[in-house]
C-alpha cells in the first residue's frame, strides 16, 4: 500500500458543520453554485457517493464506507484509474473553526507508483484545498 497525505488545511467553519456536509453528500446541492468550477468538474452525487472529474486523473467515483462522527469520513473508489481509499479527517481548532486533512491509501506496484505519485499528490492537495473552501454553513 502507498500512502499519500495532504497538508493540513484551515477551515473557517466548526468541525460538526464540516462533518455534517461531508458525511451526507446530498448536502452538496446547497453549495453547488458556490463551488470553484476549476476544482470540481462534472460533479454528480447522492447521499453516499460523489463523482467528479479531476485533472490530471480523470473521472473518479467515491462511495462512503465509514462515518466516525464528527472526526472522519472514509471513502472507497468505485470508479478510478487506481483503486484507493480516501479519509477526510476533521479536527476542531475553536468553536467556530476546524482543520482537515485528506489521506489516500492506494495499491500501487513500484513501477506504477513512480509514474503516479506526483499527479496523485497534486490531486489530493487540490481536493483538500477545495474542501477547505466550501461554505459549510
Beta bridge partners of 79: 61
pLDDT tens digit sequence for 2-32 = 999 999 999 999 999 999 999 999 987 777 7
Produce one character per residue of 11-48: b if its CB has 16 or more CB atoms within 10 Å, e if not.
bebbbebbbbbbbbbebbeeeeeebeeebbeeeebeee
Beta bridge partners of 64: 75
Q: pLDDT tier at 36 (50, 70, 90 boundaries)? A: low
Q: How far apart are CA 88 and CA 131, in angstroms?
A: 9
Q: How far apart are CA 106 and CA 135, in angstroms?
A: 29
| Beta-carbon count within 10 A of 56 CB | 10
pLDDT tens digit sequence for 47-100 = 999 898 866 667 889 999 999 999 999 999 998 888 899 999 999 999 999 999
Q: pLDDT tier at 34 (50, 70, 90 boundaries)? A: low
What pTM was computed for the model?
0.85
Find out whether 21 and 34 touch, Cβ atoms under 8 Å. no
Q: How far apart are CA 118 and CA 124, in angstroms?
A: 10
Across 97-118, average pLDDT: 92
Amino acid at each position: 500500500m502507498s500512502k499519500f497525505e495532504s497538508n493540513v488545511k484551515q477551515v473557517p467553519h466548526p468541525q460538526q458543520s464540516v462533518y455534517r456536509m461531508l458525511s451526507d453528500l446530498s448536502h452538496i446541492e446547497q453549495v453547488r453554485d458556490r463551488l470553484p468550477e476549476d476544482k470540481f468538474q462534472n460533479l454528480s452525487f447522492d447521499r453516499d457517493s460523489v463523482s467528479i472529474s479531476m485533472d490530471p486523473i480523470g473521472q473518479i467515483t467515491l462511495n462512503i464506507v465509514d462515518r466516525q462522527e464528527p472526526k472522519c469520513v472514509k471513502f472507497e473508489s468505485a470508479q478510478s484509474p487506481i483503486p484507493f481509499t480516501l479519509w477526510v479527517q476533521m479536527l476542531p481548532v475553536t468553536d467556530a473553526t476546524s482543520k482537515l486533512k485528506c489521506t489516500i491509501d492506494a495499491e500501487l506496484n513500484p513501477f506504477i507508483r513512480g509514474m503516479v505519485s506526483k499527479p496523485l499528490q497534486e490531486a489530493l492537495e487540490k481536493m483538500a484545498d477545495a474542501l477547505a473552501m466550501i461554505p459549510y454553513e
